[in-house]
Amino acid sequence: MIALTAGSDGAVLDDFTIVYTSEGRRYALDVAWSMALCGPAVTEGCSQG
């Protein structure tokens, strides 16, 4: 689950990294997802429905 919060202006997340350990080994997974929480400062990719 991914949970995002933003102020009233909105926010943009362009990518993130998940760091985890499995069987004693450390891994990092780069995730190239873009997400937007729309607001007055963030309008690209936003629509009213």
Residues 28-40: tens digit of each pLDDT: 999 999 999 999 9
- Residue boundaries of the structural domains of the chain: 13-37
Give the whole-angstrom CA distance, residue 8 versus residue 14.
Answer: 19
Residue type at 43?
T
Q: Are 26 and 19 in contact (CB under 8 A)?
A: yes
Give the whole-angstrom CA distance, residue 43 versus residue 48.
Answer: 10
Percent of the chain with pLDDT over 90: 69
* Interior angle at CA 29, CA 46 and CA 21, nearest 5: 135
Q: Are 32 and 13 in contact (CB under 8 A)?
A: no
What is the pTM assigned to this prediction?
Answer: 0.61
pLDDT recorded at residue 22: 98
